[in-house]
Chains A and B, each alone.
Chain A
Amino acid sequence: MKEQLEAIKAKAIAAIEATDGMDKLNEVRTGILGKTGELTAVLKGMKDVSPEDRPKVGQLVNETREAIEKLLEEKKVAFEAEALKRRYESEKVDVTMPAVKHEQGNLHPITQVRNQLVDIFGSMGFEVYEGTEIETDYYNFTALNTPQDHPARDMQDTFYLSPEFLLRTQTSAGQIHVMEKQKPPIKIISPGKVFRSDDDATHSPMFSQMEGLVVDKGITLCDLKGMLDEFVKEIFGKETTTRLRPSYFPFTEPSVEVDVSCFQCHGKGCKLCKGTGWIEVLGAGVVNKKVLEGCGIDTNEYSGFAFGIGVERIAMLKYGINNIKLLFESDMRVLKQIND
C-alpha cells in the first residue's frame, strides 16, 4: 500500500512538473484526486484494509493527498502569475501615441474680452444693459447732443433704415434709454454690436463697443480716472497706467482720450505702441450737462461720467490679432486659437 502511494506521488510529481498550463494541471488533478482518480481509488480501497491498519494507512493517504494538493496549488499560482504577466505584456502600449481627445470649443475672442470686461465692471457694481442694434436717430444722436448738422450724422458714416431708424453707430445710445427709465444711482455697462459705413483693411462695418455710464451725486473727472486706472490694471496687467488727454465727443464735456502705458514695452517704445510708449484704448468724459438735462436728471444734484471701449481693439491688442476681418469669417483656424 505504501509503495502504491509512493508510486502515485512520484507519478503525480512528474505529471505536475510536466504540465504546461492550467488545463493540463486540472487534468492531472482530476486524474489523481478526481472521482475516478488514482488516489481516490486508493481511498475507496480502504474498506479492504484491516481496521487496525486503517488509521495508519489513512494518515498515509492524507499525507500523500496533501502533498499532491500543495504541489498542484504551487503550480497553479505559478501559472496564474505567468498568465497575468502575459496579459499585461499583451496590453503594452506606446505611450507616445496620440491621445484620444474630447475637443473643446472656444468662445469667440470678442465674447471672451466682453466677459472679462463684464467681470471687471460687474465686480465694481455695474449692471449690464444691452440695447438694440436698430435705434432711432433720436437716441443715437439727438439725445446725445449731436446736433442735426454734426458731421458724425452724415449718411457716409451711418447706415440708415428709414428716415427715423438706423443701425446704432455707438453703444452710447443705450445711455439715454437707461437714464430715461432709471433714477440715479446709475451704473451700467452696455456692450454690443455697432455699425459704421467703413469697410477697408482696418475697419469693419460691424464691430463691438462697450459703453459705461455712472450717474450719481458728486461724480467727477477724478472718479473717471480712478475707475479707469483699476480697469486697465485688471485687463492689461498690474503695471499699466493711464494718461488722459483732451478730446471731443458731443455727449461728454470735458471729453478725453485715454491712453494706457504700452503693456508690451512698458513705455520704452515698441512696434505695438508705434514708439510712443502709449496705446489709445478708449474715449471718455464727464457726461454733458445737456444730455443729463435732456433725460430729466437734475444737474444741480447729479453728475456722471461715461466711457466707450472698442472691444475688437482690446481683443486685437491683447491677442495680437492683426486683421479685424478675421474675427467675422468663422475660419476654424482662427476660432481654435484663442481660448479662455
Chain B
Amino acid sequence: MLAPLSWLKEYVDIDVTPQELEDKLFSCGFEVEERYEVGKDISNVVVGLVKTCEAIPDTHLHLCQVDAGKAGVLQICCGADNVEAGGKYPLALVGATVYATAKDHVTIEGVMTIGQGKLRGYDSFGMLCSGTELGLNEDLYPGAGYNGLLVLPEDAEVGADVKPILGLDDQIFDIAITANRPDCQSIYGIAREVAAVLGKELKVPSLEYTEHEALADSFSVSVDAKDLCPRYSAHYVYDVKMGPSPAWMRRRLALTGIGSISNIVDITNYVLKELGQPMHAFDYSYLEGGKINVRRANNGEKIQTLDEKEFELTDQNLVICDGVKPVALAGIMGGLNSEIKDNTTAVMFEAAKFARDNIRKSSRALGQASDSSALYSKGVYEYTTVMAMKRALHLIEELGCGTVSSSHFEDNTGNSIEPHEMKVSINKVNGVLGIKVPDEDIVRILTNLQMQPVINGDELTLQIPAYREDMEDYPDVAEEVIRMYGYDHVEGTFMPTARVTMGGLNLRQKNELRIKRALCAAGVYEGMHYSFFSPSDLDLIRLPEDAKERHAIQLINPINVDLSLMRTTLAPQMLRAMAGNQKKGILEGRIFELGNIFIPKDLPLTEYPDERETICIGAFGKEETFFTMKGLCDVVADTLGVTFEYSAAEKTFLHPYQTATITCNGEVVGYVGKVSYEVADDLDMSVGAFVAELDLRVLSQYYGKQQVFVPISKHDEEKRDFAFVVDKKITCGEIEKLIYNACDYVTSVKLFDVYEGGQLPEDKKSMAFSVVFTPRDEKIKGEKVEGFVANILKDLKDKLDATLRA
C-alpha cells in the first residue's frame, strides 16, 4: 500500500526521519517494501528568474539570461512558448537530471543528464523545464500539465531547490500489510500505527457536517442477502455542483496512484484511500422506484459496469438494485446506468460492508477487479463504514460541492461499532512471551493502541476498538505488547520446563536414506521430479486404455495440462530427464528418484489415496547394459539383505527381450529393462537408456531385518567349476536355482562363461559356473563334496537335461 509521508503527517506529528519511520514500522510488523522520494530521478533543478528574453530570429527559440541565485546568471536557449522576462521557472543546471520526453513533450522516455549545449550557434548553460520533465502532471501540481514551461509561484526564492516547492521531496512508503490487519489498508489506518509506535497523538480527520433538508421523495434501503452485506448505509446529497476537486485532494490521489475525475468521484476515492472504506456515488436521478435493495443476482441477470464491460451474473454475485434494475456490482464496480456525470445534481452515497469471501470470489469469477474489490477481499470493518460516510459528507461541505440532506438510510444486522471490553490475565500474556514486560510498559503500549488499559492485580481490562476484530484473546494482547515493546527483548531460552524426548529418523526413514546412500555409492545421482505429470506421460509409455496407471487423480485447477495428474509411476519423468540430458549433449548418466506414486481408492477422492514410496532408477550411456542396470537394482537388494530374482517379462515401453520382472521371495517388487526404440525415438534419445522401478512399500517389510552372524568354519571351502551343455532356451537363473536347491552347502554360484557354436549342436549352448561349497562343523573335502557334486549333476541332468561339457 502506498502512503505518502505528507499525508501521514496530517494525522500524526512525525518528527523522525523517513529512515527512522521505516525502521519503526518494520519493527512493529509493517514491512516497508520500498520507500522513494517522489522526485527521486530529479536533481539540481533550481528556481530560475528570467531577466531578459529575446527571440532568436527565424527560430521559435528565445535567448534568455536567467538568474539562478548562487549559480549566477546563465544564458539559456529556450523553445517554450510561455517563456517571458520576469517569469520564474524550474532551471535544470548543467549536470542536473530530469526526465527526457518524446517529441510530443508528454511521453517520458527515461532520465537525462543536462549538459552544456549549443542551439543554432548560441551557448546554453542549462534548461528551463516543463512539469512533465520533472515527472509532474496537472494532478500533482497545478499548471504542470501545460505543454510548455512550468510556471513557479512569484514568491519562490531565486536559486532555491525546486523540490520542496513542487512537493518532489515528499516520501512514498510502500507498505506490506499482513492479512490480519485489514484496518491498516488505509492512510489513516497506518497513521494510527505510526502514532502508537511513536507515542504521539492521533488527529482524527474531521467528520463534522450540517444536515439540511430531507429528501422529499419516499426512499428506502433494504438488504435481502444479510449474510453477504451486514451493513449498508446511504445518504442523500443535493444541489451538487460538479467540477474539479481542489489541488490538495488531486495531489494526494495522484500520489497513491489515482487520477482525478470530478469532485464527487474524487471524494469517494479519497475516502477509500484515507480510511480504507470503498464508497460509491449514484446519480440520484437514475435511481428508479424509490429504493435501494441489496440482493443476490438472479441467474442470467446482466449488468454493464462503469468501464462499459457487460457481465452475466449468477446467484453467487451480489448486486445493488434500485426499484427496477441492478445499478452496481456490489463491492466491485458501479453500474454505467447510474454513473456520475457532468450534469449530475443529486447523489446517493453508499458506504457498506460486504463479505470479503463473496467479493473476492465474484471478482475472480467475473474477471473484474477494482480498488474497492481489492479492499473488500482483504476485509472492511463496519466501524469504517460509519466513519467513512461521515467523512464523505464532511468533504462535500468542505469542498462546497453539494448540500448534505438529513436523509440517511441504513440496513444493518445490529453489530456494534463501539469498543468492546476484554479482560485477560497479565501472567498469561507474559507467559506467552516468556519475559515479564513491566506493567507500565503494557499500559503505555495499549494506551497508544487506543485500548484504554486498566490493570487490577493480574487482571488487565481493555476496550477493544471495533476496527480491531483480530483481537480475541490473551495471545493477541501478547502480540500487541511485544511488537511495540520490541522483539529484541525476547531472550533465547532452551525449553527449561520441557521434558526430554528422543529424536531422529524412524525405521522407514533410516532405510530409505540407506538405500539412497547405497545408490550414490554405486555412482547414481539423486534427482527430484514433480509429484504431478502429464496425461501425455501415460501415452509416452504406451499404456493401454485399461492400465491401472491411467487411474490417476486429477487436479481440478492445474497450472497446465502437463501438470494435471498425480503420478502413478515415476518412469515417464525419469525418461524425460534422461532425454533432457541427452538434448543438452550429456550422453551418460545415472539418476534415481525416491518419491511417492498416488493410487486412488476411489475417484473423485473421498478418502486418502495410497501414497506409495517408490524408487526409480535411470541409466543411459554407451557403457550401460541390461546387466549394469541389474547391478544397480541389486544394490537395493543388498542394502536390504535380500535377493532379487529376475524373470523375462514385457513392458509396453521397454525392449521386448531386455526386460525383467523383479521378485523378492516370490512377491513382485518391480521391473527393469531397456527403453524401447520407439520410446527412445519419441524422446529423441541417441544413446541406450535403461529404467527400473521398485515398490518400496513392499520392500519395507525387510527394513530392520535381523542380521545373524554365521561362524566361520575352521575347514576349507571347496570350489568346483562346471561347464554344462544345455538347450539354448534354458536360462542362467534356472540353472543357478537348481544348483542352490540341490545342495544347501552351496553358498555361491557364479556364471563365468557362455559358449555357443563350435562343436556344440545348433540348439545347445554351454554355460560354465563356479560353485562354492562352504563347510560347517565338519570337513567336506573329498567324499562329501563329491556327493554334493553328484547330486547337482543328477538334478541338472534330470530336470534340464544338462550334461557336462566334454
Binding site for B on A (CB under 8 A): 102-108, 110-111, 115, 118, 121-128, 130, 132-134, 136, 148-152, 154-156, 159-162, 164-165, 167, 185, 187, 193, 195, 197, 199, 205-206, 214, 216-223, 225-230, 243-248, 250, 253-256, 286, 288-289, 303, 327-333, 335-336
A107 CA to B527 CA in the complex, in Å? 8
| Residue from A104, A187, A195, A222 within 8 A of B492 (CB atoms) | A222
Which residues of chain B are within 8 angstroms of A336 by Cβ–Cβ distance?
525
Least CB separation from A305: chain B residue: B495
A218 CA to B492 CA in the complex, in Å? 14
Least CB separation from A216: chain B residue: B498
Q: Are A253 and B609 in contact (CB under 8 A)?
A: no
Least CB separation from B482: chain A residue: A254
Stretch at the interface among B61-69, B174-182, B413-421, B757-765: B174-182
Q: Are A205 and B525 in contact (CB under 8 A)?
A: no
Q: Are A149 and B519 in contact (CB under 8 A)?
A: no
Q: Is B655 an interface residue (CB 8 A)?
A: no
A228 CA to B523 CA in the complex, in Å? 36
Which residues of chain A are within 8 angstroms of B528 by Cβ–Cβ distance?
108, 110-111, 327-328, 330
Which residues of chain B are within 8 angstroms of A115 by Cβ–Cβ distance?
513
| Residue from B504, B563, B566 within 8 A of A134 (CB atoms) | B566
Given known pairs A105-B523, A246-B28, the reply for A130 and B509 (CB within 8 Å) is yes
Which residues of chain A are within 8 angstroms of B604 by Cβ–Cβ distance?
161-162
Q: Are B520 and A161 in contact (CB under 8 A)?
A: no
Given known pairs A246-B483, A254-B432, the reply for A122 and B505 (CB within 8 Å) is yes
Q: Are B504 and A127 in contact (CB under 8 A)?
A: yes
Least CB separation from A115: chain B residue: B513
Given known pairs A105-B523, A127-B501, the reply for A220 and B433 (CB within 8 Å) is yes
| Residue from B355, B378, B520 within 8 A of A105 (CB atoms) | B520
Least CB separation from A332: chain B residue: B589
Stretch at the interface among B200-208, B242-250, B579-587: B579-587
Q: Are B521 and A104 in contact (CB under 8 A)?
A: yes
Given known pairs A161-B604, A205-B563, the reply for A246 and B479 (CB within 8 Å) is yes
Query: 9 smallest A-B Cβ distances: which pairs?
Result: A220-B434, A222-B434, A149-B357, A246-B29, A226-B492, A218-B497, A330-B527, A254-B479, A248-B178
Q: Is B605 an interface residue (CB 8 A)?
A: yes
| Residue from A105, A159, A199, A222 within 8 A of B590 (CB atoms) | A105
Which residues of chain A are within 8 angstroms of B483 by Cβ–Cβ distance?
246, 254
Chain A interface main SS type: mixed
Q: Is B438 an interface residue (CB 8 A)?
A: no
Q: Are A330 and B503 in contact (CB under 8 A)?
A: no
Q: Are A121 and B608 in contact (CB under 8 A)?
A: no
Shortest C-beta distance, B259 to chain A (Å), equals 28
Least CB separation from B516: chain A residue: A107
Least CB separation from B500: chain A residue: A125
Q: List 11 A-B contacts (CB under 8 A).
A: A104-B523, A118-B505, A123-B504, A148-B357, A150-B179, A162-B604, A221-B482, A247-B29, A248-B179, A330-B574, A331-B581
Least CB separation from A130: chain B residue: B509
Given known pairs A118-B505, A134-B609, the reply for A160 and B557 (CB within 8 Å) is yes
Which residues of chain B are within 8 angstroms of A243 by Cβ–Cβ distance?
487-488
Binary flags per residue of B482-500, CB closer than 8 Å to A gives 1, else 0: 1100011011111111111
Least CB separation from A108: chain B residue: B526
Q: Are B580 and A125 in contact (CB under 8 A)?
A: no
Binding site for A on B (CB under 8 A): 26-29, 31, 178-181, 355-357, 360, 364, 377-378, 431-435, 473-476, 478-479, 482-483, 487-488, 490-506, 509, 513, 516-517, 519-532, 553-559, 563, 566, 574, 577, 580-581, 584, 586, 589-593, 596, 598, 604-606, 608-609, 611
Least CB separation from B573: chain A residue: A330
Q: Are A159 and B611 in contact (CB under 8 A)?
A: no
Q: Are A248 and B180 in contact (CB under 8 A)?
A: yes
Which residues of chain A are within 8 angstroms of B580 by Cβ–Cβ distance?
329-331
Q: Are B497 and A216 in contact (CB under 8 A)?
A: yes
Which residues of chain B are within 8 angstroms of A127 by Cβ–Cβ distance?
501-504, 506
Which residues of chain A are within 8 angstroms of B181 by Cβ–Cβ distance?
248
A329 CA to B529 CA in the complex, in Å? 7
Given known pairs A126-B503, A286-B432, A288-B475, the reply for A165 and B605 (CB within 8 Å) is yes
Given known pairs A156-B364, A330-B591, the reply for A222 and B491 (CB within 8 Å) is yes
The CB with the most chain B CB atoms within 10 A, among A111, A222, A230, A331, is that of A222
Least CB separation from B609: chain A residue: A134
Least CB separation from B435: chain A residue: A222
Which residues of chain B are within 8 angstroms of A218 by Cβ–Cβ distance?
431, 496-498
A318 CA to B435 CA in the complex, in Å? 33
Shortest C-beta distance, A126 to chain B (Å), equals 5
Q: Are B553 and A134 in contact (CB under 8 A)?
A: yes
Q: Are A244 and B487 in contact (CB under 8 A)?
A: yes
Q: Are B432 and A220 in contact (CB under 8 A)?
A: yes
| Residue from A107, A214, A228, A303 within 8 A of B520 (CB atoms) | A107
A244 CA to B28 CA in the complex, in Å? 11
A151 CA to B598 CA in the complex, in Å? 28
Q: Are B506 and A128 in contact (CB under 8 A)?
A: yes
Given known pairs A161-B554, A245-B26, the reply for A185 and B520 (CB within 8 Å) is no
Shortest C-beta distance, B561 to chain A (Å), equals 13
Q: Are B501 and A121 in contact (CB under 8 A)?
A: no
Which residues of chain B are within 8 angstroms of A254 by Cβ–Cβ distance?
432-433, 475, 478-479, 482-483
Q: Are B530 and A220 in contact (CB under 8 A)?
A: no
Q: A161-B553, A223-B498 are in contact. List 10 more A-B contacts (CB 8 A).
A: A128-B509, A159-B555, A159-B556, A216-B497, A220-B435, A223-B434, A226-B495, A253-B478, A328-B529, A330-B581
A217 CA to B495 CA in the complex, in Å? 9
Given known pairs A134-B553, A134-B566, A289-B475, the reply for A105 and B27 (CB within 8 Å) is no
A195 CA to B593 CA in the complex, in Å? 18
The CB with the most chain B CB atoms within 10 A, among A154, A244, A253, A327, is that of A253
Which residues of chain A are within 8 angstroms of B553 by Cβ–Cβ distance?
134, 161
Which residues of chain A are within 8 angstroms of B525 by Cβ–Cβ distance?
105-106, 108, 330, 332, 335-336
A303 CA to B556 CA in the complex, in Å? 38
Q: Are B495 and A223 in contact (CB under 8 A)?
A: yes
A289 CA to B476 CA in the complex, in Å? 10
Shortest C-beta distance, B463 to chain A (Å), equals 20
Given known pairs A156-B364, A161-B553, A223-B494, the reply for A108 and B527 (CB within 8 Å) is yes
Shortest C-beta distance, B321 to chain A (Å), equals 24
| Residue from B433, B488, B605 within 8 A of A161 (CB atoms) | B605
The CB with the most chain A CB atoms within 10 A, among B435, B476, B500, B528, is that of B528
Least CB separation from B27: chain A residue: A245
Q: Are B586 and A332 in contact (CB under 8 A)?
A: yes
A70 CA to B201 CA in the complex, in Å? 118
Least CB separation from B554: chain A residue: A161
| Residue from A111, A205, A216 within 8 A of B495 (CB atoms) | A216
A128 CA to B360 CA in the complex, in Å? 38
Q: Are A303 and B431 in contact (CB under 8 A)?
A: yes
Least CB separation from B563: chain A residue: A205
Which residues of chain B are within 8 angstroms of A103 by Cβ–Cβ distance?
523
Shortest C-beta distance, A8 to chain B (Å), equals 52
Q: Are A134 and B433 in contact (CB under 8 A)?
A: no
Least CB separation from A149: chain B residue: B357
Q: Are B520 and A106 in contact (CB under 8 A)?
A: yes
Which residues of chain B are within 8 angstroms of A107 by Cβ–Cβ distance?
516-517, 520, 526
Q: Are B504 and A221 in contact (CB under 8 A)?
A: no
Shortest C-beta distance, A140 to chain B (Å), equals 13
Q: Are A162 and B556 in contact (CB under 8 A)?
A: yes
Which residues of chain A are within 8 angstroms of B591 by Cβ–Cβ distance?
330, 332, 335
The CB with the most chain B CB atoms within 10 A, among A161, A187, A303, is that of A161
Q: Are B501 and A187 in contact (CB under 8 A)?
A: yes
Least CB separation from B564: chain A residue: A159
Which residues of chain B are within 8 angstroms of A221 by Cβ–Cβ distance?
432-435, 478, 482, 490
Which residues of chain B are within 8 angstroms of A151 by Cβ–Cβ distance?
179, 360, 377-378
Shortest C-beta distance, A301 to chain B (Å), equals 11
A115 CA to B505 CA in the complex, in Å? 10
Q: Are B557 and A159 in contact (CB under 8 A)?
A: yes
